[in-house]
């Protein structure tokens, strides 16, 4: 199945890869993605088209590698990156600055649209070297949440100059990643193995819930929320383990799954088919976790009426709402795990999935696109 993967060597270490979101009613596969780089003399944000879909080889595989449409210099390492909408990308920098770049599709250029300088900083915003890395950014247009090495959480709005809200000492350790649970609630993970839920409607600067990995305080690097069941959250960290949490109950993960041999950098549920989950690691591997295999015993997520699933009261155990991810040992239930990169090289820093398409970026200065993920 490896021949469906197109590689493009880009002479920069790629820290982030993100598909441009598709319009709501779109049926076509994703066609554009963005990358950000790190640890280079000159870091860049780049927009790529997936290549020439018209050229199909004899055995039906796509020809044509990704094509660079435009790029722009970025100050500092790209720590995180999210599309705000079809045209704007929010980028988190190791300098502490958060920049919104606009992709002008008529003439294929990128420009800096808006910037919050030193959104994250160690001492105070005015010292020249005070910037603290902005480690994570999450968008729910028009809102943008950022977290950083300074333990700070910022809430920005796309067209407003100043932060809407800042929680200064949100965490005494480094915040590594953030995700929206719902429009008014976010979840952060930190470098001592804790998850914290923050209710943005509350004025107090305290989390509403704290969860933590037991025992060793393993730094967590990444988090993703299940797209239709907001109480299910996946995290990964320093030890390469995948943790699945049910944030409605208990302060500890529902399951801990042995995964990678080194840091897990990103975890993503498939946005429309969340029986599938993807993780990538410093060890050069990218795993596809598939819980959909045993269809007879497991209700499909797709038939649960989407978000309404969260409204069952806790004491009604409605079988149709129990997710495969929440069984005590998902691997018992015939979960299939595939390493999509058999010949491992350097760190796989980032991945993104949309429809049948996967894009990932590595320290080997290459980006890879697979357009037939479920073929």
b (16+ CB within 10 A) / e for 159-197: eeeebeeebeebbeebbbbbbbbeeebbbbbbbbbbbbb
Residue 155 has a CB neighbour count (10 Å cut-off) of 16
CA-based nearest residue to 22, from 91, 85, 92? 85
CB atoms within 10 A of CB 225: 22
Is 331 a domain residue? Answer: yes
Q: Cα separation of 180 and 166, whole Å?
A: 16
Question: Which range among 184-193, 242-251, 330-339 shows the weakest confidence by mean pLDDT?
Answer: 330-339
**Nearby residues of 213 by Cβ (< 8 Å), 6 or more positions away:** 193, 194, 220, 237, 243, 252, 253
- Computed over every residue of the chain, the mean pLDDT equals 86
Q: Of 48, 61, 59, which is closest to residue 17 (Cα–Cα)?
A: 48
Q: What is the mean pLDDT of residues 116-136?
A: 82
- CA 62 to mean position of chain CA atoms: 27
Residues 6+ apart with CB under 8 A from 189: 175, 176, 177, 178, 195, 220, 221, 222, 223, 235, 237
Is pLDDT of 330 > 80?
no
Phi/psi-derived region of residue 195, left when phi > 0, alpha when psi is between -120 and 50, beta in every other case: beta
Structural domain contains residue 312: no
Length of the chain (residues): 375
- What percent of the chain has a predicted confidence (pLDDT) above 70? 85
Residue 266 pLDDT > 80, yes or no?
A: yes
Query: Is the separation of the CB atoms in 290 and 301 below 8 Å?
Result: no
Domain that holds residue 335: 5-294+322-370
Tokens representing 101 are 């770049």
Q: How far apart are CA 177 and CA 189, in angstroms?
A: 6
Instruction: State CA 264 to chain mean position distance.
Output: 12
The answer on pLDDT for 362 being more than 50 is: yes
Query: How many domains are there within the chain?
Result: 1
Q: What is the pLDDT of residue 294?
A: 53
> What is the DSSP code (8-state) at residue 122?
S
Higher pLDDT, 217 or 243: 243
Percent of the chain residues topping a pLDDT of 90: 67
pLDDT (average), residues 349-360: 96
Q: Is the pLDDT of residue 216 over 80?
A: no
**According to the model, what pLDDT value does residue 305 have?**
30
For residue 73, pLDDT beyond 60: yes
Bridge pairing between strands 276-281 and 286-290:
antiparallel
Whole-number pLDDT of residue 331: 57
Burial class (CB within 10 angstroms; exposed 0-12, middle 13-18, buried 19+) of 149? buried
Task: Give the pLDDT confidence score for residue 328 in this predicted structure.
Answer: 60
Asked, for residue 34, whether it belongs to a domain, the answer is yes
pLDDT greater than 60 at residue 65? yes
Q: Is 308 inside a domain boundary?
A: no
Query: Would 313 be classed as within a structural domain?
Result: no
Residue 36 pLDDT > 50:
yes
Residue 47 has pLDDT above 90, yes or no: yes
Inside any domain, residue 307: no
Mean pLDDT of 29-42: 94
Q: Is residue 341 part of a domain?
A: yes
Question: What is residue 319's three-state secondary structure?
Answer: helix
pLDDT category, 250, cuts 50, 70, 90? confident
How far apart CA 281 and CA 262 sit, in angstroms, is 6
- Please tell me the pTM assigned to this model: 0.87
Higher-scoring residue by pLDDT: 329, 95: 95
Q: What pLDDT score does 302 carry?
A: 34
Cβ atoms of 223 and 195 closer than 8 Å: yes
- Residue 345's pLDDT band (cuts 50, 70, 90): confident
Q: pLDDT per residue over 275-318, tens digit each?
A: 999 999 999 999 999 988 654 443 433 333 322 222 222 323 33
Beta strands across the sheet bearing 194-199: 175-182, 185-190, 194-199, 209-212
Res 335: pLDDT: 81
- Beta-bridge partner residues of 143: 140, 157
In this prediction, residue 342 carries a pLDDT of 75
In a domain, residue 314? The reply is no
CATH of the domain at 66: 2.130.10.10
Residue 131 pLDDT grade (very low, low, confident, very high; cuts 50, 70, 90):
confident
């Amino acid at each position: 199945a490896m021949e469906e993967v197109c590689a493009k060597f880009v002479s920069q270490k790629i820290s982030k890869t993100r598909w441009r979101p598709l319009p709501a009613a779109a049926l076509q596969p994703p066609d554009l993605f963005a990358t950000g780089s790190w640890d280079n003399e000159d870091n860049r944000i780049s927009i790529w088209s997936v290549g020439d879909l018209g050229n199909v080889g004899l055995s039906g595989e796509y020809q044509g590698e990704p094509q660079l449409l435009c790029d722009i210099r970025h100050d500092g390492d790209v720590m995180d990156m999210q599309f705000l909408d079809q045209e704007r990308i929010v980028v988190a920098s190791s300098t502490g600055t958060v920049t919104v770049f606009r992709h002008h599709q008529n003439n294929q250029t990128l420009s800096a649209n808006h910037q919050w300088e030193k959104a994250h900083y160690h001492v105070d915003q005015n010292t020249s070297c005070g910037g603290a890395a902005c480690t994570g950014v999450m968008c729910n247009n028009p809102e943008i949440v950022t977290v950083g090495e300074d333990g700070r959480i910022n809430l920005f709005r796309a067209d407003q100059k100043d932060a809407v809200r800042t929680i200064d000492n949100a965490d005494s350790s480094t915040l590594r990643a953030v995700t929206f649970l719902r429009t008014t609630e976010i979840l952060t993970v930190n470098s001592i193995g804790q998850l914290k839920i923050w209710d943005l409607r509350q004025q107090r600067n305290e989390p509403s819930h704290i969860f933590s990995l037991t025992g060793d305080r393993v730094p967590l690097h990444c988090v993703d929320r299940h797209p239709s069941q907001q109480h299910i959250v996946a995290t990964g960290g320093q030890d390469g383990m995948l943790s699945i949490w049910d944030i409605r109950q208990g302060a500890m993960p529902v399951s801990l799954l042995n995964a990678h041999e080194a840091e897990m950098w990103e975890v993503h549920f498939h946005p429309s088919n969340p029986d599938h989950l993807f993780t990538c690691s410093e060890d050069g591997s990218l795993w596809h976790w598939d819980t959909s295999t045993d269809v007879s015993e497991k209700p499909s997520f797709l038939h649960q009426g989407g978000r309404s699933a969260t409204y069952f009261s806790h004491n009604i155990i409605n079988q149709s709402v129990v997710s495969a991810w929440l069984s005590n040992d998902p691997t018992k239930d015939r979960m299939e795990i595939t390493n999509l990169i058999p010949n491992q090289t350097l760190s796989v820093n980032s991945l993104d999935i949309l429809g049948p398409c996967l894009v990932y970026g590595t320290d080997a200065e290459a980006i890879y696109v697979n357009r037939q993920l479920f073929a």
